[in-house]
Amino acid sequence: MRSQVVVVVFAVIGVLASAFTTYWVASHWMSDQVVVSCRPDSARSYCVYHRTTPGLLSTEYEMHVGIAPNRGLFYDIPYSAGDVQASWNTDTGLLTITMPGTGLTIAEAEYRDR
Q: Give me Rg for the CA atoms of the chain.
A: 20
Amino acid making up residue 32: D
What's the whole-number mean pLDDT along residues 24-36? 77
pTM of the model: 0.72
- Percent of the chain predicted with pLDDT > 70: 93
Q: What is the 3-state secondary structure (H, E, C) of the chain?
A: CHHHHHHHHHHHHHHHHHHHHHHHHHHHHCCEEEEEEECCCCCCCCEEEEEEECCCCCCEEEEEEEEECCEEEEEEECCCHHHCEEEECCCCCCEEEEECCEEEEECHHHHCCC
Q: What is the chain's mean pLDDT, rounded?
A: 86
Other beta carbons less than 10 A from residue 95's beta carbon: 22
Residue 91 has pLDDT above 80, yes or no: yes
Encode pLDDT of 32-67 as tens digits: 889 999 888 766 789 999 999 887 788 899 999 998
* Higher-scoring residue by pLDDT: 99, 41: 99
* Residue 27's pLDDT band (cuts 50, 70, 90): low
Domains of the chain, by residue range, sit at 1-30, 31-111
CA distance 107 to 102: 17
